[in-house]
Structure 1
Amino acid sequence: MKDEGHPTHHTGRVSLLRSVWYRSRSEARDDAEAGRAIAMPTQTTTPPLLQVLRRLALALLVLAATTLIVWVDRSGYRDGADGSVDLLDAAYYATVTLSTTGYGDITPVSDAARLTNILVITPLRVLFLIILVGTTLEVLTERTRRQVRIHRWRSRIRDHVVVIGYGTKGRHAIQTLIGQGIARERIVVVDTQRKAATAAADEGLVSVTGDATRSDTLVKAELPRAARVIVAAQRDDTATLVTLTARQLNRRATIVAAVREDENAPLLKQSGADTVITTSSSAGRLLGLSMASPSVARTLENLMTLGSGLDLAERPVAAEEVGRAPRTLADLVVAVVRDRQLLDYTDSRLAELRAGDRIITVSRAVAPEEE
């Protein structure tokens, strides 16, 4: 299903291999802008001292190989001092040649030695110089690698989850998504604060720094191709504008938004949110329930926290469960979604389960050693 009503520049994106060699001016500009805003998951890097030791080892290896080549063909070289070339002379010649010093006291005189200098030693000299300036090249290589990672991610990501806001609500929403089996690479965070975006990248998430009320920021998060959007902004007016922008860019995505005040919930619904969670009233109800019945409140908290004792989850009906009554299942069925209607366990229409039903169950959390 193709999205409508949003930019379609991604449909003509070149392949990853071609992008390394050639990119049009507009593609290069898009990747440069995305590179400033998108933070990829943090990867482990080699310690600086180990990098230096590796370069030193490579340089010595190239020097040793050049020395061996010269010594094997030593009859084709002439030493201005004594006329012959031994192993020490070969090492000396390799050193001054690779460092481009070239004193000229030892020279190739035979055709074979000169040909070897052209075809073998000259490339080794270039390799030796590359190793010596490896720090500068590494910076350029890292920048290119980062652009390639971003380009590859932008070209491949689809049907993912975009979480707008990496505050308390956003972080807990992501923890729940991960607990439900959604991979970290399928989650994209958008936040106005670079510090928050960096923290998300440190947790293995792709993050975008920018104002989520602007469509260009959401396009960088590939929201037009997302399957679900969670709006966890700090302010209700911001959440409303973000929801409007997200719905304009993506007509098919499921949007869940959080607001502080009940009176703003209908406005979020009109803006395009499929589900609106009122945080203040929900917290108030939980407070009142905790006072009236602490045990019920703790049970409800367990149900909302994956892995804490009891899990409340939604899943499709298995083939072997079709035709059975909900009460006969191993898991406790509290509701069934049928034809987009939510039916609780007391509904008379739930005498038996049908193919295509989705059941909401309460089950015991699986301990890590049991998985």
Structure 2
Amino acid sequence: MQEPTEQQDAGRAPFSSVSDVGAMRRGRVSLPERTRSPVWALTRRLLLALAILVGTVLLVYLDRDGYSDNADGSVDFLDSIYYTTVTLSTTGYGDIAPVTPTARMVNAFVVTPARIAFLVLLIGTTLEVLASQGREALRISRWRKHMGHHVVVVGYGTKGRSAVDTLVSNGVERESFVIVDPSSVALADAHADGLAVVTGDATRREVLRRSGVATADQVIITTGRDDSNVLAALTVRQLNPDAYIIASVTEQENAPLMRQSGANSVITSSDAVGRLLGLSSLSPTLGSVMEDLLTYGDGLEVAERELLVGEVGAQPQSLPDQVIAVVRDEKVFRYFDPTVTQLARGDRLVVVRPAKEKPWAARPGTHNEDFASDED
């Protein structure tokens, strides 16, 4: 195993507080929030309460001759502040009281509504906090009810985000993803991208259970440490024997261990980057083509599609798409392999095509043809 790197690690990231550690151990679920910032809502309420307080103080001070103070008979500015605070808070000691008809009318029709508004603001803030917690619990409950056949992404760093972007660009709904990561930065990034997040350590069974990994179709493991990736893969495989696990490793020597841990597909990042660097050094144009194939959205794309009825019996080289491999009986054959000289029903094609075309669609102009699947 390699030494820990400075990359984001969804298995063992540092925490800044005891509450963060507790959240990590519990595997807290949080869904992307679409409402206004709570800081803004709280600030707005505080400013309104302060405005009511200041307005009432000025109102009492301007009409100070209509009030009597049991201590010295007169009411000054400090007495106005004191009277306002005890009145708005409904404490009401009675040592200062309105004595003139005007002051009493102002208290009845102005100060009393201000007191009610002040209390509503204070109580309303508390109720809103409780209500928001209830709404969040309800949202999570509904989310859990409809969750299933989804994709769990362990680690929302550069690799995890790129994997999600690629799947979304290929038609997977954002509601189908659950991110597992202990980092507050990853939490903010995932929420900004409209994704549900389970905050916690992906090597812990309880955290993965909260992500619904037992019913997930696919699990993508992309943390920055191979040891965390291996342990996460083992835990996922225990909870879901049927999930398709795609995992990344930094070092090629750890790839066999990752496969033994239950990963169906293993991507070696260091070897892939090194090979691309070598190709670019030998041939800058070849390096550009390889980078184009690895970059989604522009230029060329590698895609997989089903065989069309009209393509049955044809040679891979004769199709409009640039076929580079044929998938037959879940085995991958290169396009020149004698086994796939003639395409058969049930074959799937791995092709290179322009990025503007949908990777899962048939070639433009053949959309009305039927797929040559085994069921036909």
TM over 0.5: yes
Partner residue of 1:290 out of 269, 274, 280? 280
Give distance in 1, aligned partners of 2:160 and 2:229.
Answer: 13
Give the alignment of 1:115-134 within 5 angstroms.
133-134=123-124
- Which residue number in structure 2 is paired with residue 244 of structure 1? 234
Are residues 1:268 and 2:258 paired?
yes
Q: CA deviation at 1:355?
A: 2.5
Give distance in 2, aligned partners of 1:359 and 1:34.
Answer: 44
- Which residue number in structure 2 is paired with residue 196 of structure 1? 186
Answer yes or no: is the 8 Å Cα contact 1:260–1:278 preserved in 2: yes
Q: Which has the higher contact order (CA 8 A, sep 6+)?
A: 2
Are residues 1:37 and 2:28 paired?
yes
- Change beyond 3 A, Cα 1:238–1:183: same
Answer yes or no: is the 8 Å Cα contact 1:336–1:358 preserved in 2: yes
Partner residue of 1:232 out of 217, 222, 227? 222
Are residues 1:206 and 2:196 paired?
yes
Answer yes or no: is the 8 Å Cα contact 2:156–2:179 preserved in 1: yes
Give distance in 2, aligned partners of 1:186 and 1:263.
Answer: 33
Are residues 1:324 and 2:320 paired?
no
The count of corresponding residues between Structure 1 and Structure 2 is 275
- Change beyond 3 A, Cα 1:137–1:262: same
Q: CA deviation at 1:335?
A: 0.6
Q: CA deviation at 1:44?
A: 3.7
Q: CA deviation at 1:132?
A: 8.8
Structure (1 or 2) with the greater helix fraction: 1
Are residues 1:301 and 2:291 paired?
yes
3-state SS of the aligned residue for 2:320?
A: coil
Answer yes or no: is the 8 Å Cα contact 2:150–2:178 preserved in 1: yes
- Which residue number in structure 1 is paired with residue 126 of structure 2? 136
- Which residue number in structure 2 is paired with residue 172 of structure 1? 162
Give distance in 2, aligned partners of 1:145 and 1:322.
Answer: 54
Q: CA deviation at 1:249?
A: 0.6
- Which residue number in structure 2 is paired with residue 162 of structure 1? 152
Partner residue of 1:352 out of 322, 342, 358? 342
3-state SS of the aligned residue for 1:173?
A: helix
Give distance in 1, aligned partners of 2:25 and 2:270.
Answer: 36
Give distance in 1, aligned partners of 2:173 and 2:124.
Answer: 36
TM-score by length of 2: 0.65
TM-score by length of 1: 0.66
Q: Unaligned stretches of 5+ in structure 1?
A: 1-31, 56-94, 102-124
Q: CA deviation at 1:143?
A: 1.4
Partner residue of 1:280 out of 260, 270, 273? 270
Are residues 1:218 and 2:212 paired?
no
Identity in percent: 45
Answer yes or no: is the 8 Å Cα contact 2:313–2:342 preserved in 1: yes
Give distance in 1, aligned partners of 2:191 and 2:313.
Answer: 46
- Change beyond 3 A, Cα 1:318–1:143: farther
Give distance in 1, aligned partners of 2:121 and 2:156.
Answer: 42
Give distance in 2, aligned partners of 1:200 and 1:298.
Answer: 30
Q: CA deviation at 1:130?
A: 7.5
3-state SS of the aligned residue for 2:180?
A: strand
**Which residue identity lines up with residue 275 of structure 1 in the other structure?**
S
Answer yes or no: is the 8 Å Cα contact 2:180–2:197 preserved in 1: yes
Give distance in 2, aligned partners of 1:236 and 1:36.
Answer: 21
**Which residue identity lines up with residue 30 of structure 2 in the other structure?**
A
Answer yes or no: is the 8 Å Cα contact 1:35–1:147 preserved in 2: no
Give the alignment of 1:27-66 within 5 angstroms.
37-45=28-36, 48=41
Partner residue of 1:342 out of 322, 332, 338? 332
Give distance in 2, aligned partners of 1:220 and 1:337.
Answer: 35
- Which residue number in structure 2 is paired with residue 150 of structure 1? 140
Give distance in 2, aligned partners of 1:238 and 1:42.
Answer: 29
**Which residue identity lines up with residue 209 of structure 2 in the other structure?**
V
- Between stretches 297-306 and 190-199, larger displacement belongs to 190-199
Give distance in 1, aligned partners of 2:313 and 2:134.
Answer: 57
CA-to-aligned-CA distance 1:277-296 (integer Å, 9 cap, x gap)? 11111111111111001111
Q: CA deviation at 1:42?
A: 2.8
Q: CA deviation at 1:301?
A: 1.1
Answer yes or no: is the 8 Å Cα contact 1:189–1:206 preserved in 2: yes
Give distance in 2, aligned partners of 1:239 and 1:258.
Answer: 7
Give distance in 2, aligned partners of 1:220 and 1:351.
Answer: 48
3-state SS of the aligned residue for 1:269?
A: helix
**Which residue identity lines up with residue 32 of structure 2 in the other structure?**
P
Q: CA deviation at 1:326?
A: 2.4
CA-to-aligned-CA distance 1:81-114 (integer Å, 9 cap, x gap)? xxxxxxxxxxxxxx89x97x9xxxxxxxxxxxxx
Q: CA deviation at 1:152?
A: 0.8
